[in-house]
Amino acid sequence: MNGQQEFENRIAKVRQAIRDKGLQTLLVFDSGRHNFLRMNYVAYLTDFIGVGPEAVLVLPLDNDPVLYLSPEWDIDRAQEESWVKNVQPFENFWNLLSKGVGKAGLIGREAMHVDLHDEIVKALNQAPVNAKDIIENIARRKSGFELERLRQAAIIADAGVQALHEEAHVGLKEFELAAIVEYRMRFLGAEDNFGMVVASNHNQALHPPTDRVVQSGDIIIGEITPCIGGLFVQICRTMVLGQPAPVVHEKYAILKKAMGLGMDAAKTGAPASDVAAAINGTLCDAGYEKYCRPPFMRVRGHGLGCGSSAPGNLEDGNQTKLEEGMTFIIHPNQYIPETGYMTLGDTVVMTQLKAEPMTRTSWDIFVKE
Amino acid sequence: MIFGRHSVLKRGCSTWDKQAMPQEEFQARLDAVRREMARQNLDALVIYGDNYSFADLCYLTNYFPKVRGGIGVVPCDGPISLLLNIGSRDVPFAKSLTWVEDVRASGQVGRDGAELLKEKGLAQAKVGLVDSGKGFPLPQLEEMKGSLPQIEWIHSHLLIQQMRLQKSARELAALRGAGRVLNEICDGARDFIKQGRKEYEIIADIDRLARDKGVEDIRILAGEKRLQPPGSKMSAKLGTHWAVYLAIQHDRYWVETGRTHILSGDAKLQTAYQKAQEIVAKMATQLKPGRPVATIDETARKQLGEFYAIASIYGLGNGVGLSQWEPPFLSEDEARQVGSPSVGAAVLNENMTVALRVTFETEGKLILFGDSFQVTAKGPVSLLG
């Protein structure tokens, strides 16, 4: 399926949902802050990631969609990159509203400032209905088109880990380690990266890098998340510079076991909490129950999306059923008092029966002499 | 106004140089803020910040969110608190970046922010809301306000922004440090910008150079005919012409520059680029204390002539500091583009810092030149050295 067909499919589904909700127009907003932690619904429906503070896609039931955008100088790029061809300056959005758009739904309140919302309410003479579930429901299963992008991102994620394995050495600063990964992935076309790489002989948690100088015996942990076409794939791995103490191997084996059992628990139709239970169970059996709860750990993975973060967090109580086509990260990352924090995780895609990893890097701890 | 693609995570070097920016600097700022709060009869401030717009929050706390956002609660006396949308295991790292001792994790900043205000005895107070970056997510703000029906909320978005206009000696040192790094990146970038290379590969090289120099964040826009952010769709091979906008955040402070790389030796384009540099230099001559801010735009209009309209599309400049876009704005229109109600300052003062840029098209190519300056009594001083 090409991009235009994909877009037309999405628009057709959204229009049906608009009808079902008794709406006449859908307003989809984004504030130029693309992030898998907060969905970019405009990108989902247009394939365009804006940079300015305002992007509103107006989707009437019967007429063609229009993308209203700031800054004005980015309109040419939007017309080239977006599936929506009618792109206009954001100022024109107010003219449209003044003419009336019927009963309106709004998606993207999470990214919207109260002042803009108030102006829209005033212009519409009505509070638009929060219609975010329209896209969340449509986007929860990734299409073949999306999976193709995600596979490309997965190859880049593996390459990022590979770069770290090849180039990490004693004497580098943490931020230089992170730059190694970033560079390899950007060189392969990654648009962005939710990435953290840090090193210590006893890591407390993942965090953005500092200027700490890497020492022999350091455990390097990474959470690496390249973005392609607005979609993210995450991978978490651990490596050691120099021969690690036996306890590191011993405790890392618990993470590997938890990862395997977490993967096994990710069955199509099973609740997301099953994955968390399998991982937490493994760590509890190993004597680390206390460390499976805040302030140490909480979730065992999460959705990765552009239009939907389904199935949400892999944690106790999440009864969301895993569906074919969902993609999410399973990561039994764990603070262990004897070793510090270690990381292991793969993005998976749900197939007809079970989860399959999208990334290929070995789960083994990587030791670099 | 010029915008780059926002990073999903501020993933560059994240440290606090306590010698360069000691706690006493923040205490002086806090004292000044509290004096202004007292003047306005405010019992507290709630300051929102996120990884997109952190200036006001950072000005008082030195903390800048890496992802998502948070609030600072500043009562008129007593300890201030940071409530951040992070996991509880991330609190120790967050504390390494701020002098604030009360740092709390929250998955629901609106709900927990309301509880924090109640805990501080502020449920019936007069509270100033500071959100100059317009980032406070609507559902969270609704929840916080809805849980505190007896609070009198005052829009105080400009309260801290006004204090940030004139930079302190330590801030200027940080800005000059950032400028030095940016200058090195610009110099180094020349080696990467070669005909026939893919644009995103060149951007990867520039990004690596910046990250290896310890920047906290970077924005790159580049192109032959127009500026655009890096992306997987930016796979064209470089021809003989490339305009590059670069902005970096280093030790919390933003500086920016613009350069045009003419690889063909085309004399007309070289002349046009020279002209862009001269216009920026002429605009910069207005950067003197006491001069109306509007004279910068007037100078640009006069110098650019027919190109003024195109140059205005990307913006001719703005204040820089803890924000990439802050007062003084050169026009009401530019202020409006970043959600600011006014230009912020009608007259230039010593130690304001301003980015200036000129863009226009000639021979079908984009010409860009820009620099960041400090306003001094002797005239403009480039922060890039």
Contacts for A104 with CB less than 8 Å, ≥ 6 apart = A23, A24, A25, A26, A27, A124, A126, A128, A129
* Residue B182 pLDDT: 98
Of A74, A210, A297, the CB nearest to B15: A210
Contacts for A50 with CB less than 8 Å, ≥ 6 apart = A30, A32, A42, A43, A69, A74, A78
Nearest alpha-carbon partner for B131 in B153, B115, B151: B153
Fold of A144-368: Creatine Amidinohydrolase (3.90.230)
State the Cα–Cα distance between residues B182 and B355, nearest whole angstrom: 13
| Per-residue pLDDT reduced to its tens digit, A216-235 | 999 999 999 999 999 999 99
Per-residue pLDDT, averaged over B308-323, amounts to 93
Torsions phi, psi for A235 (to 5 deg)? -140, 140
| Per-residue pLDDT reduced to its tens digit, B105-132 | 999 999 999 999 999 999 999 999 999 9
Residues on chain B touching A193 (C-beta within 8 angstroms): 8-9, 11
State the Cα–Cα distance between residues B168 and B140, nearest whole angstrom: 34
| Per-residue pLDDT reduced to its tens digit, A245-302 | 999 999 999 999 999 999 999 999 999 999 999 999 999 999 999 999 988 988 999 9
Residues on chain A touching B131 (C-beta within 8 angstroms): 113
Of A33, A115, A196, the CB nearest to B52: A33
| Residue contact B208–A74, C-beta within 8 A | no
CB burial of A16-38 (b: ≥16 within 10 Å; e: otherwise) equals: ebbeeeebebbbbbbbbbbbbbb
Grouping H, G, I as helix, E, B as strand and the rest as coil, residue A129 is: strand
Indicate whether this complex's ipTM tops 0.90: yes
Mean pLDDT value across chain B: 95
Per-residue pLDDT, averaged over B274-297, amounts to 97
| Residue contact A294–B89, C-beta within 8 A | yes
| Residue contact A186–B207, C-beta within 8 A | yes
Q: Report all structural domains of chain B as residue ranges with CATH numbers, in order of start.
A: 23-163 (3.40.350.10), 169-382 (3.90.230.10)
pLDDT beyond 70 at B234: no
| Per-residue pLDDT reduced to its tens digit, B130-139 | 999 889 999 9
Nearest alpha-carbon partner for A231 in A347, A352, A138: A347
* Residue A1 pLDDT: 65
H-helix or E-strand containing B220? Answer: strand B217-223
B20 to chain A, any CB pair closer than 8 A? The answer is no
Grouping H, G, I as helix, E, B as strand and the rest as coil, residue A209 is: coil
Domain A3-139 CATH assignment equals 3.40.350.10:
yes
Residues on chain B touching A113 (C-beta within 8 angstroms): 131, 134-136, 138, 339
Nearest alpha-carbon partner for A168 in A179, A177, A155: A177
Nearest alpha-carbon partner for A311 in A259, A276, A358: A276
Residues on chain A touching B205 (C-beta within 8 angstroms): 183
pLDDT beyond 90 at B340: no
* Residue B341 pLDDT: 81
The residue assigned the tokens 């003197």 is: B288
Q: How many CB pairs under 8 A join A and B?
A: 175
Q: How far is B113 from chain A (nearest CA, A)?
A: 17
- The answer to whether B214 and B280 have CB atoms below 8 angstroms apart is no
User: Which positions 287-346 of B are in contact with A (Cβ < 8 Å)?
Assistant: 313-314, 337-339
* Residue B232 pLDDT: 64
pLDDT beyond 90 at A2: no
DSSP structural state of residue A321: B
Confidence of residue B342 (pLDDT cuts 50, 70, 90): confident
**Crossing angle of helices A174-187 and A144-167, rounded to 10°:** 140
pLDDT beyond 80 at B235: no
| Per-residue pLDDT reduced to its tens digit, A75-134 | 999 999 999 999 999 999 999 999 999 999 999 999 999 999 999 999 999 999 999 999
Per-residue pLDDT, averaged over B56-65, amounts to 98
Write out the DSSP string of B331-347.
Answer: SHHHHHHTT-SS-S-SB
| Residue contact B9–A191, C-beta within 8 A | no
B129 to chain A, any CB pair closer than 8 A? The answer is no
pLDDT beyond 90 at A305: no
Q: How far is A99 from chain B (nearest CA, A)?
A: 24
* Residue A286 pLDDT: 97
Contacts for B135 with CB less than 8 Å, ≥ 6 apart = A31, A113, B48, B49, B50, B52, B53, B69
Residue of A nearest to B210 (CA): A179
pLDDT beyond 80 at A142: yes
Question: Which one is predicted more confidently, A109 or B236?
Answer: A109
State the Cα–Cα distance between residues B245 and B139, nearest whole angstrom: 35
B188 to chain A, any CB pair closer than 8 A? The answer is no
Please report, rounded to a whole number, the percentage of residues in chain B having pLDDT higher than 90: 90
* Residue A37 pLDDT: 82
Q: How far is A356 from chain B (nearest CA, A)?
A: 25
The residue assigned the tokens 């130029």 is: A32
* Residue B243 pLDDT: 97
- The answer to whether A131 and A106 have CB atoms below 8 angstroms apart is yes
Per-residue pLDDT, averaged over B180-189, amounts to 98
Amino acid of residue B115: E
Tell me how long chain A is: 369
Q: Any idea where the domains of chain A sit in the sequence?
A: 3-139, 144-368
Residues on chain A touching B230 (C-beta within 8 angstroms): 186, 191
Of A36, A51, A190, the CB nearest to B229: A51
Per-residue pLDDT, averaged over A159-176, amounts to 98
Mean pLDDT value across chain A: 96
Per-residue pLDDT, averaged over B67-86, amounts to 96
CB burial of A233-245 (b: ≥16 within 10 Å; e: otherwise) equals: bbbbbbbbbeebe
Nearest alpha-carbon partner for B361 in B312, B318, B328, B321: B312
Per-residue pLDDT, averaged over A40-65, amounts to 95
Q: How far is B19 from chain A (nearest CA, A)?
A: 15
Distances (CA, A) of B128 to B110, B132, B317, B336, B343: 16, 12, 30, 22, 21
pLDDT beyond 70 at B233: no
